[in-house]
Structure 1
Amino acid sequence: MVGGNAIRGTRVGAGPSGESERGESAPRRRVSYWCANGHEARPSFSMDAEVPEEWDCPRCGLPGGQNEQSPPAAPRTEPYKTHLAYVKERRSDADGEAILAEALERLRQRRELI
């Protein structure tokens, strides 16, 4: 294939890979985080960066803390609620009966007009 536009021997991200081309890397430190399942994650941070108190575990997704002996508790997940459950939280049974009686009365009035 003579005269083609193909770039040979390269891939995305390829290029000179020396500190002279990229500049010097910032000094880094590794911090250990443990989740409730006992997994350890060791992300690296710049020496200048503020280290977060919690870090999500890459293996199970639970939050991890820096204290291995007392990792953060798993977040409590709320169970799925139906529309009816939300309505029952907002209205009492007496309110529901009054709304039903009103709706039935309107329906009966419409049927009489037909």
Structure 2
Amino acid sequence: MGSGNAIRGSRVGAGPMGEAERGEAAPRVRVSYWCANQHEVRPAFASDAPIPEIWDCPRCGLPAGRDRSNPPAPPKNEPYKTHLAYVKERRSEEDGRQILAEALERLRKSPHRPKITY
């Protein structure tokens, strides 16, 4: 038996909705982009919007350009660097020894230094 609810099975925004209710769509232009793997991407842009020179390929993730014969080069993948590698770029071995010596000296002079017994 029905509950008498006339909108059962509907959701907000459902129903016949045409261009008259939504308004006119902006004029569009499709632009072709090619990546280094020769995948073609054709995004649509508003006709009065600026067209970007590079677009990301959704298939492989490489940058795609508008010139099919000369697509952008794939970006170089830099290997993962550890924190120590970044520190070594900024400091020399001698700097490291000096900083360590200063830190150890501060610890030795600290009144809250833990007592180590062997």
When normalised by structure 2's length, the TM-score is: 0.76
Distance 1:12 1:68 in 2: 45
Distance 1:57 1:12 in 2: 35
Alignment of 1:54-93 (within 5 A): 54-93=54-93
Q: Which amino acid aligns with 1:91?
A: R
Aligned to 2:101: 101
Structure 2, unpaired ranges of 5+: none
CA shift digits 1:15-59 (9 cap, x unpaired): 323222222222221110111111101011121111111111111
Q: Which amino acid aligns with 1:34?
A: W
User: Which is helix-richer, 1 or 2?
Assistant: 1
- Percent of pairs with identical residues: 66
Alignment of 1:1-114 (within 5 A): 1-4=2-5, 7-8=8-9, 10-11=10-11, 13-108=13-108, 114=115
Aligned pairs, number:
113
Structure 1, unpaired ranges of 5+: none
Report the RMSD for the aligned CA atoms in angstroms: 2.7
Distance 1:96 1:14 in 2: 67
